[in-house]
Amino acid sequence: MENRNLVVIETEQLIVLIKEAIKAELSNKNEIPQKELMNFKETCEFLGIHPSTLNKWKAENKIPFKRLGKRVFFEREKILKTLKQPDHLAGFRKKANSNSYG
């Protein structure tokens, strides 16, 4: 048989504890988890570019990618680092911002 203890707590303290628990849970829900590896479509949406543009950048090795079998994946962090490099992608940021895909 399981031992159970009865805890006596005032209503106001219980309300405070419930509010804190709800606030903590809601703040966790607002954090949108980001995938580290993105597929082709997700990468196009992330960059706001047309698939043909991503194909071109991939063929020209302007954007880092990984092959897993026949599938191609893009690492979010590596893409962001590439975007921050001033000389690596001439016109990359301009194209990524001006071409919308959706």
Residue 102 is predicted with a pLDDT of 43
Residue 38 is predicted with a pLDDT of 94
Question: Which parts of the chain sit beneath pLDDT 50?
Answer: 93-95, 97-102
Please tell me the distance from the alpha carbon of residue 25 to that of residue 64, in angstroms, as a whole number. Answer: 36
Please tell me the distance from the alpha carbon of residue 89 to that of residue 84, in angstroms, as a whole number. Answer: 9
Residues 6+ away with beta carbon under 8 Å from 54: 40, 43, 44, 47, 63
Q: Write out the H or E segment, with its range, that includes residue 31.
A: none
Residue 101 is predicted with a pLDDT of 45
Residue 41 is predicted with a pLDDT of 95
Number of other residues whose CB lies within 10 A of the CB of residue 75: 17
Residue 82 is predicted with a pLDDT of 87
Residue 99 is predicted with a pLDDT of 46
Instruction: For residue 64, give Cα distances in angstroms to 4, 17, 39, 67, 95.
Output: 57, 47, 13, 10, 17
- Residue 10 is given by DSSP the state -
**37 near 90, Cβ under 8 Å?**
no
pTM of the model: 0.54
Residue 25 is predicted with a pLDDT of 76
